[in-house]
Each structure stands twice: as structure tokens, then as C-alpha cells.
Amino acid sequence: MNNELIYLDNNSTTAIDDRVIEAMYPYFKNNYGNASSTHHFGLAAKKIVENSREIVSSLINSDPKEIIFTSGATESINIALKGIALDPNNSKRHIITLQTEHKAVLDTCKFLETVGFEIEYLPVNPNGLIDIENLILSIRQDTLLVCIMWVNNETGVIQPIKEISTITNSKKVLLMTDATQAVGKLPINITEFNHIDLLCFSAHKFYGPKGIGALYINQETVSPRQIFPIQHGGGHERGLRSGTLNVPAIVGFAKACEIASLEMTENTTYIKSLRDILEIELLNIRGVFINGSKEHRLYNTINACFPNFDANMFIDRYQTIAVSNGSACTSALFEPSHVLLAMGLNDTDAFSAIRFSLSNKNTEQEILTVISSIKETLIQLAN
């Protein structure tokens, strides 16, 4: 990687922590047993998997039995949504979600529509937050599940999950949350919520390896038997995710969770200080505004709109600055962010938005360099 790269796309993925790599290494080279094998070598691998499960569960204060290892949040979302919906004993056909959810949720919901489910895509307010009264009115007798992202990946907007969980619990409706941008960044004690039933997250969003994540299943409200397995072949992970376990990645996942639990407060303070420097300077530029609630927002994220500014042009021009414009590329055609459109932006403003997502690897000098580059681009555009 170019040593001059300034990486501000950490909501997409973070750099893996050196301590995580060190923890994983022995399970590639020496301790490479299959955790499903019954010989001593395999049993040793199984033991480290279960130890890792305990560490991962402790990050959200759940029971280790409530953690199912997956390849990441996208797979967790598919297992949970499809599995709950396709359970032969389920007769409810109505699911509620938000228009601003990640494509992993939206595309899975689109699939469920093709097999007879009614999906209600609730709008959000211009600040990106859910209208709680609208949610209450939308829940019906045949509502199976409410699926709301905890922290939006494009804007950093934090939804009121505790309030939502109180509502769904009182209505006897399941609550699933994509917590991919929340776990490892925000302190989460799952017991403080009035029944989050399903929760998904990935290691690579907080300095862990790619290709590993988890599905939390509340054992008080959801039995694994209520989740129809969408993958078969061995019955691993309580029958919900068949396949040989990725022991090195699971070990790395656990190490990332351990580090997060110890360093989250320090990281929050440091990253927020950099985010504030960047945001203050950006808002000093005429016409720039922030997309999403500033009060209810993750401390590492800024989604800023630069009127009459081509975000893609900036990204292409500055190859040493990694940021995101929040657009999805489909069939080689760039589309405006569905999140920003749902918040009321027009196509032009959506194409003029840049997401900056910071990590503990960033420095103040990097932030100042990015600010200078943006100002330089705007000056050239004005001329």
C-alpha cells in the first residue's frame, strides 16, 4: 500500500490491528486443526473456538451460546431474515424495515417479497432518524419482525434502538438490528435492551479480519429451531451455519473484541477530536452542510454535501485520499445514495456528498491535508 495514503473510509473496512494478526498467526501455521474433528488436534481447535466465542459474547454482554459465527454481517442478515421468515411454523407475512438500511437488508427483503412476504419500507426524517409514531402505527397483528439498523453506514446516524426495542417487545414482535457499525465502536450491553432478538456484526469494522462475523440470537425469545437453515451440510453452529469453522479468523475476531473492550473509550475521545477538527473546517466552507443528525451520530463519521461539487471527480483525482461518496455501482452505472435520497436530498446533492469515516490510525496532519485538498479543488472549480 502507498505509504502516503490517507485512509478515511473506515466504515467500509478498517486496517487490521497488528495484535490481531499476531494472535491469528499460530492458527494458520501450527494449530491448523479442524474444530469439528474428534482427535486431539481437532479438540484443541474446538476449545480455542469456544474460548473465542466467550470473548466475542462478552463485548455485547451476551451468553456465549447466543453467538453464531458467520462469514460476516451480510451472511448473518441473510440467516436471520430468511431463516425467521421461512420457518415452516411461521404464519406471519409482514416485515417492517427502513428505506435507509444497508443493501444486505434491502436486497434480502426484496427476495422475501418474491416468496410472498409483505415488506413495509418506512421513511426517515430529513435527519435520518426513524419516526417512532410511524413505527407504532405500522405494526400489525401479522407483523413478524422489525429490522432497523443501529448505526447507518453512510451518515453515522444512530437510531433509538432502546426505544424501538421497548415498542417491539410490548407488541410481541421480533426485533432484528444490523449493528455492524455499532459493535466495537459503541458500548453495548445487550441486557439493557427490552429484547433485541437478533443482532448482526462483523470483525473488520473494528480492526479485525475480514470474512468473519456473528449473529446474536436471544435465547430467551428465539430458539434456533425457529430459524430455518439456508445452508446445509454438517449442522455446524447449532445447525444454522454448516461449514468448516475459520479458526484463525475466529481467533482474530476475539482478539479485536478484546482490544475494543479495553480501548473503546480512548479511541472514542481521540477519533472524535479528529472528526471535530475536520467538521469545523468543512462547515467554514460556504454552502457545505452535514447530512444526518449531528446529535445522534457516531463519533467517527461525517457525511458532508458540497454544492456544485462532483464527489466522484474528487475521489478520482486524489488517489492518495480514500473517502466514499456513498454511491452504489451497479452495472457500471453510478447511482445516487439511496440513504441520502430517502432523507430528502435530490440527485445532484447526493452526488455532491462525501463520507469521511475515521479510525484510530488517522492523524491530525492527515485531516489538515484532506481539508487543504478539498479547498484547493473548490477553488479550481470556481475558476
| Catalytic option among 109, 200, 257, 329 | 329
Collapsed DSSP state (helix, strand, coil) of residue 173: coil
CB 183 within 8 Å of CB 152: no
Cell numbers 473506515: residue: 10
Q: Tally Cβ neighbours within 10 Å of residue 270.
A: 16
How far is the CA of 202 from the CAs of 34, 77, 249, 254, 339, in angstroms? 22, 11, 11, 11, 21
Closest-CA residue to 299 (of 261, 270, 263, 272):
272
Catalytic residue status for 109: no
Closest-CA residue to 200 (of 76, 99, 312):
76
How far is the C-alpha of 213 from the C-alpha of 204, rounded, in Å?
Answer: 8
CB 45 within 8 Å of CB 175: no
CB 203 within 8 Å of CB 251: no
- Tell me the residue ranges of DSSP E strands in the chain: 6-7, 67-70, 94-98, 118-122, 143-147, 174-178, 198-202, 213-217, 289-290, 301-305, 321-322, 328-330, 333-335, 353-357
Amino acid type, 293: S
Closest-CA residue to 20 (of 256, 258, 361, 260):
256
How far is the C-alpha of 260 from the C-alpha of 255, rounded, in Å?
Answer: 9
Collapsed DSSP state (helix, strand, coil) of residue 202: strand
| Greatest CA separation for the chain | 72
Q: How many residues does the chain have?
A: 383
Residue 246: all three cell numbers together: 475459520
Catalytic residues: 329
